[in-house]
Structure 1
Amino acid sequence: MDKIVKRIIATKTAPEPIGPYSQAVVADKTVYVSGCLGVSLETGKLVDGGAKEQAETALTHLKNVLRASGSNMNNVVKTTVFLQDFNDFPTVNQVYKEAFVRNFPARSCVQVAKLPMGALVEIEAIAVAGEN
């Protein structure tokens, strides 16, 4: 049986986890990125503004975690976007289109009752590592 390589990803360019989980885990050539929130690295609190600003910050953190794992936004194959209020969908969708400019990944987007820290947006991803 082949041995599978599992690597835990931790980077200072994204907020530290607020619970018992990793920023990302690489299993063989698949990268599983935990949900990213719009948290300021400087304050550890949600960024000022609304869903737009939180989505922009969450996607920046996602990019940074992917980079630390040896991947990038072009290698993302699936995302899940969690919204506290689905009325924010058009705003978040516009920010999302600026982050993923071609070969869009598969995506689910759902409204949830509550997100950690009272966030309005959380974004998780699955990507492949290496050259694409």
Structure 2
Amino acid sequence: MMDVRPLRTEQDYEWALREVARYFESQPAPGSEDGDRFEVLATLLKDYEATHIPMPGADPVDVLHFAIESMGKTQAELSKLIGRNRASEILNRVRPLTLDMIRTISAEWKIPFEALAAPYDLARESA
């Protein structure tokens, strides 16, 4: 674990993301050397993100827009996960996210489940 270091720059952050990503395929056992390294890196990433990367409020649609605009995701990728018309309707606040959609997006895009499960308003239809 000697190569773990504080995350002070964007380059440090990118390095830590690459290191953590290696563990997603095969998560190390808690308490093992790799398990400890994974936990320390995850904590460092969380701290860096909390202080350097502005996240939208608790609105799941804003979180999805943030992912598309700032995390390199696309509406086309979202469409592949949940369906083309559904993605557009969700991003335009016409349709709510379902529990299955939330689980899928959270797992595939590595977005915390809680950020997608918060209540939010849909667009009001014209009367």
TM-score of the superposed pair, with normalisation by structure 2:
0.25
Q: Specify which structure has the higher proportion of strand.
A: 1
Higher relative contact order (CA 8 A, sep 6+): 1
Select the structure that is richer in helix: 2
